[in-house]
Amino acid sequence: MDQDDVRGDAVAMGPYSLRDKQLGFFGRIALFFRQVMSELRKVVTPTRKELIKFTLVVLVFVLIVMGLVYGFDSLFGFVTHLVFGVPGTAPAPAQ
């Protein structure tokens, strides 16, 4: 591989064509920030309706996962209690 060419499609195809240049440390940092700003310009802010819908989807998903974790925890606790019993208690003597 040639060490002089800059790798990455975004660099080669972007507005800052650097195929013929070798960037130094600060040049790479500046290129990184230019690419970050370029990507941030593509971000679309959701509408209020979309934001509410996405928030509700996340909350419902979290509630479902909480229910699953609670159910598995209760199940494993019950099975553990059946298998190992209550620690520190001796069986009652037969009369």
Q: What confidence tens digit (pLDDT) does each residue in 30-54 have?
A: 999 999 999 999 999 999 999 999 9
State the chain's mean pLDDT as an integer.
81
The answer to whether the pTM exceeds 0.75 is no
**Closest CA relative to residue 28, chosen from 2, 13, 42, 7:** 7
CA–CA distance, 34 with 19 (Å, rounded to integer): 16
Domain boundaries, the chain: 9-40, 46-83
